[in-house]
A and B are shown apart, each in its own frame.
Chain A
């Protein structure tokens, strides 16, 4: 007998060992339940992280744009009748008012990581007979590439862009029949016109984006779009991506800009994540419940089988609380051991599935995220579940009338 263990632990362990087959069967049941939860949680976390990573490396988390222009009907003097129909004004490409000041204020915020001013608008790319509509994004690479990782998507050339250079997508390059080092003519409706050299070709993994997106320096875009000194958007990244919406609201309330968070612009994605999390929680709850019932059933049988032992223990002076604890501890041990085995099972299945399941292009379906936190959490939860499940059997054992138990 271990010197350090109290009576309750000694008895609990011995009882579990004596009914080894029962113990192993229920441990198997708990392990499968915990394994399913671990596997499912880790895979969902991986898929989610993958999706968020994809979203966040190709778009800013908050975008500040100028406020919509509204038509202000003229009121002349008293008694003048206002025009009955006020037409919405067309939205011109406009610069954010005092954008340098706003940028500095954004940079001063502790919850904002990067601020990247961009000047963007539409234009036309011409080369020989071919012409294509493009979206021209003028940016400062040292800031902007922290938000949209264009360098990660470069397939030819590099992301170094000069005032005479342009980065284009694979699709646009194909359409224009252009390759690295070729020159293309870019014109805009504002009357800008410039010959730019293709210094890099990227593949954003999306045909539409590869067709339309182009990147130039901020200065080049400003001159092409007739926005000398102005920017159309301020792109932000923040420390806590899930706080983006609150931060955006805060910015919008205190500055003359419209602030759109990635949460708002990807509302559908969030609905999907939420739905997934709900069903995940539901599955966990039911798995937990069935594990709890399994433990309770096994312990109730054990209490009945051991009623004579319990009676004898009570006769020799064992207190009711001691008997109660013996069975609560058994429940806890079952939950804990089951969760350990289950975590190993779940992690094993995850690693296996990770190596087998591939996307069409052969890349991983989800990143392998195995957080020790998940195991600690599930072990704690399973132990607690075991103890709670053991309450009814333990009470039954503690309340056993020794006279009845011994007469048997």
Chain B
């Protein structure tokens, strides 16, 4: 099994070099194999989102090594990181799910459109297949904002899968949903993980959901307590 993600002594400090310098992550080591479904838990402010943003190449660690598909990301420039991110990582966020200027279908197409520059029939078809998979074909042409939170989050899952990423990062994807919708969204991710072998890293405060993951990692005060 391939190692999709490897963290070595990842540290993150804010306000570096000032009087209020604070280290939020104190040397995180973590490894994920292809097909893993991992829950990241921990109290509020412990550094889960910070860690996720670093893994997702949105933020850089202060020190330590981050390898994605065995590629060291430390020496990549901004443009290369953006490219790697688009090709290998899918995001699902807690609140701001979709881009409101576009329909559900267009939102799912968006990562492919951004990557290839022009819309084409193939990406439109793929977006339809993904919408079908998350059970929202009927909502295809709905504006993103005219859907329930659960539906929007399912569209966001379809969008995260658009580029067929190796790793999907989900920061509290069910945190804003009622129990029933949360359950449905979680199950969907779990099914996709089983069907396609997509690797998921999921931040959650929900113990029930966490228990249904392959592995739980606890973050306490910026360190891992497995």
| Residues of A that sit less than 8 Å from B by CB | 1-7, 10-11, 14-15, 17-18, 308-309, 311-320, 322, 402-403, 406-408
Contacts and interface: CB of A to CB of B under 8 A. Distances in A.
A403 B58 contact: yes
Contacts of B99: 309, 312-313
Contacts of A402: 58
Nearest to B96: A308
A316 B114 contact: yes
Contacts of B109: 1
Secondary structure type dominating chain A contacts = helix
Given A308-B96, A406-B93, A6 B117 contact: yes
B157 interface: no
23 contacts: A1-B106, A1-B113, A1-B119, A1-B124, A7-B113, A7-B114, A11-B101, A17-B101, A309-B100, A313-B114, A314-B58, A315-B58, A316-B90, A316-B91, A317-B82, A318-B82, A318-B86, A320-B79, A320-B82, A322-B114, A403-B58, A403-B59, A407-B49
A319 B119 contact: no
Contacts of B61: none
A387 B100 CA distance: 25
Interface string B110-127: 110111011110001000
Identify which of A14, A315, A317 gathers the most chain B CB atoms within 10 Å of its CB: A317
Contact of B119 (A10, A15, A313, A320): A10
A15 B58 contact: no
Contacts of B56: 315
Contacts of B48: none
Contact of A7 (B53, B93, B118): B118
Interface residues of B, number: 35
Contacts of A406: 58, 93, 96
Identify which of A2, A5, A6, A7 gathers the most chain B CB atoms within 10 Å of its CB: A7
Interface in B6-53: 49, 53
B40 to A, nearest CB: 17
A3 B118 contact: yes
B85 A319 contact: no
B20 to A, nearest CB: 17
Contacts of B110: 313, 316
B208 interface: no
A311 to B, nearest CB: 8
A312 B93 contact: yes
B82 A312 contact: no
A314 B109 CA distance: 15
A318 B87 CA distance: 11
B78 interface: yes
Contact of B118 (A6, A314, A318): A6
A407 B14 CA distance: 15
Given A316-B111, A407-B49, A14 B101 contact: yes
B163 interface: yes
